[in-house]
Amino acid sequence: MSDKPDDQPSRVSAGPQRNDETHKAILDAAEELLTLGGAAAVTYEAVARRARAGKPTLYRWWPNKFLLLVEVYDRRKKARMSAPDTGSLIGDLGAFLAELWAFWRQGSGEAFTAMIVAAQSSDEARAALNGYFANELGSPLVGIIERARQRGEMAPTQSAASVREAVFAACWFRLLTGRLVDADIPALVTTMVDGLASRPERQDPI
């Protein structure tokens, strides 16, 4: 799933600093190709042709196509998902999972699945996926966890990073096994919240 730059690029490329208009055109082109033909259709040649940009520009800004796919996926996700704030951890997680699963069912799940699968055999894909997860600080889930901590709904020993990983692990498992069933969300969220709940410290009997 990787392209190699041409020795003789046919188009004039942009400089090292990202031009907003060109950047948007490339992301738009990559998203259109992703929608039409899945991750396999997103080649640098096809993206460059559709965006009317030079392939060297793509390689300068995204050294491999997995970094481009991750940015396209993240942009689409941020545009279509909200930041639920229901006043409770169980309500927030339920709303978050419902939105995420709906987003995946609308086509983005296939693209994300392709990235997960590619990461099993490609160091570049694995690094791109790990980088995305590590840097996704603007995710609604980050706010959900912080508000739950402030309300005392989480045990003080719970790591925010571990909670995010546990939630996404459950979601990725559902995605990869084709079981994004909304009716299952309440039970899944209840199990998660029970495991995160803040409990009084145990006191040894006198």
Q: Given pLDDT bands bounded at 50, 70 and 90, which one contains residue 11?
A: very low
Q: CA-based Rg of the chain, rounded to a whole angstrom?
A: 20
Q: Given pLDDT bands bounded at 50, 70 and 90, which one contains residue 8?
A: very low
Check: CB of residue 142 under 8 Å from CB of residue 160: yes
Question: What is the mean pLDDT of the segment spanning 170-181?
Answer: 96
Model confidence pLDDT, tens digit, residues 187-199: 999 999 988 775 5
Question: What is the mean pLDDT of the segment spanning 111-117?
Answer: 89
What was the pLDDT predicted at 156?
82
Question: What is the mean pLDDT of the segment spanning 72-99?
Answer: 93
Angle at 75 between CA 73 and CA 76, to 5 degrees: 65
Selected residue with higher pLDDT from 88 and 138: 88
11-20, 41-50, 80-89, 133-142: least confidently modelled range: 11-20
- State how far the Cα of 61 lies from the Cα of 58, in Å rounded to an integer: 5
Does pLDDT of 182 surpass 60? yes
Does pLDDT of 111 surpass 70? yes
- State how far the Cα of 101 lies from the Cα of 189, in Å rounded to an integer: 13
9 three-state secondary structure: coil
